[in-house]
Structure 1
Amino acid sequence: MADQSGSAGGTTGMPAPGGPGYGMHPPAGYGYPGGAPLPSGKATASMVLGIVGLLLIPIIPPIIALCLGISARRMADRGEGGGRGMATAGMVMGIVGIAFAALGVVVATVQALSVL
């Protein structure tokens, strides 16, 4: 006779044979396979340098951000890491930063020549 605790033979603490049990694992094939890959360091560095290039130092960091963004995006496309969106953001900010730096050089040159 089974008591209300679900044990077959009294108070032994063992579940009834064929019962669900707490330590059972779901069958293979269920659940998530492990999630998306983490962003690579290159993608993160590209985005950070892109932000730094837009806000603080307008010449060298955008160039590095563009190069790292291209490299990280190629790695993500080959499946060697994640962070494709971060790499793209770093590339875009690198391009914009290079354009602003070039515009600043042109404006400074025109102003310097107009003084003469």
Structure 2
Amino acid sequence: MTSTDGEERMSDQPTDTNNTTGPQAPNGPGYAAQPPAGYGYPMAAPLPSGKATASMVLGILGLILIPIILPIIALCLGISAKRMADRGEGGGRGQAVAGIVMGIIGIVFAAIGATVATIQAVGAF
């Protein structure tokens, strides 16, 4: 069908009065842009494992109370907990490292104490 001013108009196609070119996108007017799937809130960090907590506590107690046995146990538990945390099987990597450090310090203090006690015992004879 031809109009009087030279423009063709088809009668079976709807006229577009709002100048839109199809259905509105989900993020159209009035809607905030949605992040892509998988980019939501970050996941919470895993809780510390019991080994990591025990390592840190035994490291602290090894420095204060029993400087021979507890630092060795703290060092072993700390290494095990750190490996677990590195593999992603649990959290508490920082506690495990603290247990390792305090275990090493406790072992060094125990070795120094044993050396000093031995020197004093030998010097007494």
TM over 0.5: yes
Of 36, 44, 50, which residue of structure 2 is paired with 1:41? 50
In the TM superposition, what is the alpha-carbon distance from 1:27 to its structure 2 partner? Answer: 8.8
Structure showing the higher helix proportion among its residues: 1
Q: 1:50-70 CA deviation, whole Å, 9 max, x = no partner?
A: 000001111100000000000
TM-score of the pair, normalised by structure 1: 0.74
Equivalence for 1:110: 119
Question: Secondary structure in 2 aligned to 1:111?
Answer: helix
| Match runs of 1:1-116 below 5 Å | 29=38, 31-116=40-125
In the TM superposition, what is the alpha-carbon distance from 1:34 to its structure 2 partner? Answer: 2.9
TM-score of the pair, normalised by structure 2: 0.69
The runs of 5 or more residues in structure 2 that have no matched partner are 1-30
CA RMSD of aligned residues (A): 1.8
The runs of 5 or more residues in structure 1 that have no matched partner are 1-19, 21-25
Equivalence for 1:4: none
Q: Greater CA radius of gyration, 1 or 2? A: 2
